[in-house]
Each structure stands twice: as structure tokens, then as C-alpha cells.
Amino acid sequence: MSFLLPQAQRPIPAAAGIGLRAPHIARVLQERPPVPWFEVHSENYFAAGGPMHAALERIRADYPLSLHGVGLSLGSSDALDVAHLASLRRLVDRYQPALVSDHICWGAIGGIHLNDLLPLPYTAEALALMVSRVQQVQDALGREFLVENVSSYLSFRHADMPESAFVAELVRRSGCGLLLDVNNVYVNSVNHGFDPGEYLRAMPHASVREIHLAGFLRKDRLPVPLLIDSHSRPVADEVWALYREALELCGPQPTLIEWDQDIPELEVLLAEAARAEEELHACRTAIA
């Protein structure tokens, strides 16, 4: 029945969207580029009013929207910040996004926020906490929530499972959806020395609702390889290859190009999205 709905109310298509950032908003409003969907950072819209909302209301009228949070700090041993959750709830009610997500990480402790996506120890204790938090969020929002695997630069000695098992089990036990960040899988495979294909195969493919792609930075002059998930460059060839593998496993999924540092002209993002679209097309053709 989706052909009866206005464009913006349709679910997010299995097509390549882009992360909408402040420098591009004016052009998007003016030119209405043929982007299949946009994603914004939820916290940028937590304020009650102002020009950011005026712009997003107009964009939302014409494009499907995804809300992607960076500040819920799901895995913190502090209690979940109910004010933050209430702000997210208000935003979800206002914009009726097709997807809502945050990360498998923590960012605050003892009331101090570090405003970063910090790594969890992959332990039974952290898993149980994450499961209960995701359930709490899904109950509060009354809808499916997506969690995203994060990139990390260290692991903990007392971890008792690999990251992939932690992610898969979290999704299975909490009943949430998975936002599979393929760049983060690749970055972590280099940083922690695992096989990224094996990681992808361990994911709960039927629960994948969205895929993220972004560019990383390579740190030189270190005794071991280290990649930084900088969102500052084009998607790397290795990540495109891994994306192809992910599509083979999960089928075509809504895919997002993220770029947050040294943000280039909109055309660069559109070109990256076009490349993702080619991969999606190849995947659809292979299935058909």
C-alpha cells in the first residue's frame, strides 16, 4: 500500500541515503536532490525550536528520515538518562522517523559525560546491561530501536566473548534491529586482528535494518596497524569489498554515507551514495 502514502511516510527504501549535516541543509532545501532518504543526528535537534527544526520539518515533508543518536550512553553503569530518552521520544513523536538508532557503547559515568562512543568490555555483565537498556528504550519509544556496532582502539583483557558474539547476542536477546556499520567492522578487524568476513557471517542477518559506510584514517609510524574511524574521507576500497559481502549475506539494505569531519561538497557525498547504489543494484540483480 505504500504507493498511497506520501513519499516521506514510506519506510526507508533499500537505497543509499546520506547523513544530512549543517553545511548542506541550505542546498538540500533549495535543490531537493534526488536522495532516497536522509539521516540526522538526534541530539542536534533536541532543542525545542529554531531554524534547525524549521529546516528539518521541510526536509521531512519530502524525504524519509532516520534519527541516529550519539548520546544515549546505553552501556553506562549509570542509570539510563531519562531526560535524554524523553528528548528522543519527543523528537520521534514529532518527526515519525522510519528508523531510530544509537550505539553499542557507553559515554558517561558518575554523571560526567565524555561525549564519545567508548568501548564496552565484551563480558556477560555488560551484555546483560545492554539488553536491559535496549529493552527500556524500545519500551519508552514504543517501537523497534537499532543498535550500531562501534569502532574501537582498544579491547579489555577480561572480555569473555568476541565483539561479534556480543553484538549478535544483544540483538537476539533484546529483539532490537541492527545497524551494521561495515566501516567499523573493517576498522576493528585491523585494530584488533580478526577476520571481518567471519564477523559479518556471525551477525543476525535477518535483524539488519540499515548499513553505515564511512571513511577512516590510517595512523602511521606505529608498531601495529591502527585505523581511526574519522568519517573524514571517501569509503575505502576494502570497505566497499566488505559491503558487497554484507549485502550478499543480508540482502539489499538501506545504506548511509556518513561524513562528519572536513565535510566536502554535497556532490562528493552524492557520488559515494551512487557507488553504494551500484552495489545495491548488483545485489538486487543477483537475487532476481
- Of the pair 122, 243, the CB lying nearest another protein is at 122
CB of 243 to another protein, least distance (A): 25
Q: Which three cell numbers stand for residue 280?
A: 545495491
Task: Return d(Cα 87, Cα 221) in angstroms, integer.
Answer: 43
- Which region, judged by CB under 8 A, interacts with another protein, from 30-38, 101-109, 141-149, 266-274? 101-109
Helix (H, G, I), strand (E, B) or coil at 19: strand
Q: How far is the CB of 13 from another protein (least distance, A)?
A: 30
Pick from 10, 53, 218, 275 the residue near another protein by CB under 8 A. Answer: 53
- Write down the least CB distance from residue 155 to another protein, Å: 5
Minimum Å gap between C-beta 120 and another protein is 8
| 30 in Cβ contact with 75 (< 8 Å) | no
Q: Find all residues with CB under 8 Å of 9, minimum gap 6, and list them.
A: 64, 96
The three grid cell numbers given for residue 136, joined into one nine-digit string: 527500556
Yes or no: say if 101 and 147 are a contact pair by the CB < 8 Å rule. Answer: yes
Q: Of 132-161, which residues contact another protein (CB under 8 A)?
A: 153-158
Cβ of 222: how many Cβ atoms within 10 Å?
A: 8
Residue from 37, 106, 122, 259 touching another protein (CB under 8 A): that is 106
Let me know: does 120 contact 104? Beta carbons within 8 Å: yes
Residues found near another protein in the complex (CB under 8 A):
43-44, 46-54, 70-73, 75-77, 81, 84, 87, 106-116, 118, 120-121, 123, 125-126, 129, 153-158, 192-193, 222-224, 226, 228
